[in-house]
Amino acid sequence: SQQGEEDPQALSIQEGENATMNCSYKTSINNLQWYRQNSGRGLVHLILIRSNEREKHSGRLRVTLDTSKKSSSLLITASRAADTASYFCATDRQGAQKLVFGQGTRLTINP
């Protein structure tokens, strides 16, 4: 069963705009990660944020984590057509090796 739920399920924006995706989860976590999946391909790791961190940046990506609300957001700034993909959050719990993925957000960047 899925741990996380992404919101929105689908998002379509113009190139150059910012894209924000949200993820909620149910149980306490150790880390939260975001992955990108292009159509017909495997997932690619984007960024990891630990449970004791609140915000993290990597290039055009900004991730926030609110453990009190059990939620995270991924912001992609100055979007490009190449950012078109599905984005998934994934969580792991202390002592557990497996990552549990959410349902994903399908992002479309229109040129």
Residues that bind other proteins (CB under 8 A): 1-2, 4, 31, 33, 35, 40-45, 48, 88, 92, 97-104
Half-sphere exposure of residue 50: CA atoms within 13 angstroms, side-chain side: 3
- Contact residues for 43 (Cβ-Cβ < 8 A; gap 6+): 35, 36, 37, 88
Q: Smallest distance, Å, CB 88 to other proteins?
A: 5
Q: Which is nearer to other proteins, 41 or 57 (CB)?
A: 41
Q: Which is nearer to other proteins, 48 or 75 (CB)?
A: 48
Q: Smallest distance, Å, CB 43 to other proteins?
A: 5
Q: Smallest distance, Å, CB 56 to other proteins?
A: 13
Nearest to 29 by CA among 102, 103, 106, 107: 102
